[in-house]
Structure 1
Amino acid sequence: MPTTRNGDVSLYYEADGDGPTVVFVNDVGYGPWLWGWHYDAVAGPYETVVWDLRGTGRSDAPDGPYDVETLAADLEAVLADHGVGSAHLVGAGLGGMVALQYAHQYSRARSLTLYCTAGSGDAVDRDALDALALDAPSSLDGAFSPAFRGHDPDLMDQIADWRAEEDAAGAARDAQAAAMTAFDAPPLYEITQPTEVYYGLEDPVVSPETVQSLSADLPRGTGEAVEGRHCCYVEHAPAVTDRLLAFLDEQTG
């Protein structure tokens, strides 16, 4: 599978499908398992690109600090290596911040779909974010509602296995979390791509009010509420993915 480099950091990515390119950008610590619920629906009518952020999975894990601007430069290296002229960006949490920075700084972003993200790291609850870490007790509690966790214990076990194999941990995960909490968005009025912003009604990491404010400050932003916590877009993946596909279809004509 392909790798590219940003400076001395090797970055791993995978691509599948055919059509306009959709790039998924991970949240703090999470590996590409995060997009499994979206991937099968999107790959086919669209080309999908999933990549491991620095510090995660098969990408290098250099010493910190990390920042969102550097992660956006990593994304540019991936898209340039893969020969992508334009792309729809789908980012969660930290990945949404990377998408915002990328859309402002580079020319390839065609649309943005943002899940549970904020325009400022000051609005991120660092304690709640750290409670999601792989080595934290009850690390899925802040990600999924009790009803979702209780409905399918086997799925929770599967997610735990995926996380053990793919997630960032230790200093690399801390560096990603620090990048998220230090983020200060570029002028939002200058980010003119069509943008849909989703927020979890019970998200302990980024409050609904924070995400609503972000969507209101984006010239072409809309906000959508989803029942659930920080990974509400996984918990309600069928409905969220249907909306994502409809949005992508609107942007590609």
Structure 2
Amino acid sequence: MPTASNGAVSIHYATDGDADRETVLLLGDVGYGAWQWGWQHAGLTGPFETVVPDLRGAGRSDAPSGPYAIEDFVADVEAVLDDHGARRAHVVGAGLGGMVALELARASTRPQSLALLGTAATGEGLSLDPLFGSPADPDDLTSSLSAALSDDFLSAHPEAVDRIVDWRADEDATREAWAAQAAGVGAFDASDWLYEVTLPSLVVHGRDDAVWPVDRGRRLAEGLPRGDFVGVDAGHLVGIERSRDVNDRLVGFFEGVGSTDRA
């Protein structure tokens, strides 16, 4: 698997699909490894090439001492795109990854569009602690999913929950690295410059999100000049709970943007 270097920090990433197709970059949420994109992989790979980095602190990427700033993640992502040779990409960001996507769009011309899942323009007032589960404690990993997924999903899909717990034990951030990532969320505030992000932007948010309230998603979409809001009946991890709906929306959105670019 390839790695990119941002100074002394190595960032692991995975790619799949036809390199001649448009690239979709998937940026994950606080503490989670690349497992979180397993529900999007089949839907996006084929129509597009996918690039999935492990954010610093998670998966097989380095976990330098924190706290991390959103700008640190942006520099890591730029290193990944440089290493892979991707000039432009549609960017999907979940939670923390959505904030990275917003800053990347402000700092770079690489993003073609933004799809922001369960994220917000500012981390002020958010309490992310319920989402953390220690990778060394399966019971902790299981119980912390109640903050990320709805009760309906948890009760209806026990086998998926077991798989998620196994993946989290292998890929998720330690408490120290999780706190370093979460610090970036807490310090981020794009409220005063959202108007600068003029890319087509799709904001998808779970109506039952217990940690990133749905009103944050609505306000984010309202602040983006070309932002569209979609609420879905799900908890925080909308890409898992409503994968078919989310995937269909992502593919249609990116294809629409691509058609406009080619016109």
* TM-score greater than 0.5 by the shorter chain: yes
**Does residue 57 of structure 2 align to residue 58 of structure 1?**
no
Separation (CA, whole Å) in 1 of partners of 2:182 and 2:235:
18
Partner of 1:180: 185
Partner of 1:109: 111
Partner of 2:30: 28
> In the alignment, residue 6 of structure 1 is paired with which amino acid?
N
Partner of 1:40: 42
Separation (CA, whole Å) in 2 of partners of 1:159 and 1:16:
21
Separation (CA, whole Å) in 1 of partners of 2:120 and 2:157:
30
- TM-score of the pair, normalised by structure 1: 0.96
> In the alignment, residue 168 of structure 2 is paired with which amino acid?
R
- CA RMSD for the aligned pairs? 1.1
Residue by residue over 1:213-234, the C-alpha shift from the partner in whole angstroms, topping out at 9 and shown as x without a partner, is 1100100001000112111221
**Residue correspondence of structure 1 range 79-228 to structure 2 within 5 A:** 79-124=81-126, 126=127, 129-135=128-134, 136=140, 138-185=143-190, 187-228=193-234
Partner of 2:247: 241
Structure 2 unmatched ranges of 5 or more: 135-139
- Whether contact under 8 Å (1:226, 1:233) holds in the other structure is no
> In the alignment, residue 132 of structure 2 is paired with which amino acid?
A
Q: How far 1:147 sits from its partner (Å)? A: 1.1
Separation (CA, whole Å) in 1 of partners of 2:11 and 2:201:
26
Task: Name the stretch that deviates more: 223-232 or 134-143.
Answer: 134-143
- TM-score of the pair, normalised by structure 2: 0.93
Secondary structure of the 2:146 match is coil
Secondary structure of the 1:141 match is helix
Identity of aligned residues (%): 49
Residue by residue over 1:165-224, the C-alpha shift from the partner in whole angstroms, topping out at 9 and shown as x without a partner, is 111122001111111111112611110110000111111111111110110010000100
Q: How far 1:123 sits from its partner (Å)? A: 4.3
Partner of 2:10: 10
Once superposed, which parts of structure 1, at least 4 consecutive aligned residues long, lie more than 4 Å away? none
Separation (CA, whole Å) in 1 of partners of 2:185 and 2:176:
14
> In the alignment, residue 154 of structure 2 is paired with which amino acid?
R
> In the alignment, residue 131 of structure 1 is paired with which amino acid?
P
Secondary structure of the 2:25 match is strand
> In the alignment, residue 253 of structure 2 is paired with which amino acid?
F
Secondary structure of the 1:56 match is coil
> In the alignment, residue 8 of structure 1 is paired with which amino acid?
A
- Whether contact under 8 Å (1:123, 1:206) holds in the other structure is no
- Whether contact under 8 Å (2:201, 2:227) holds in the other structure is yes
Separation (CA, whole Å) in 2 of partners of 1:171 and 1:162:
19
> In the alignment, residue 133 of structure 1 is paired with which amino acid?
F
Secondary structure of the 1:70 match is helix
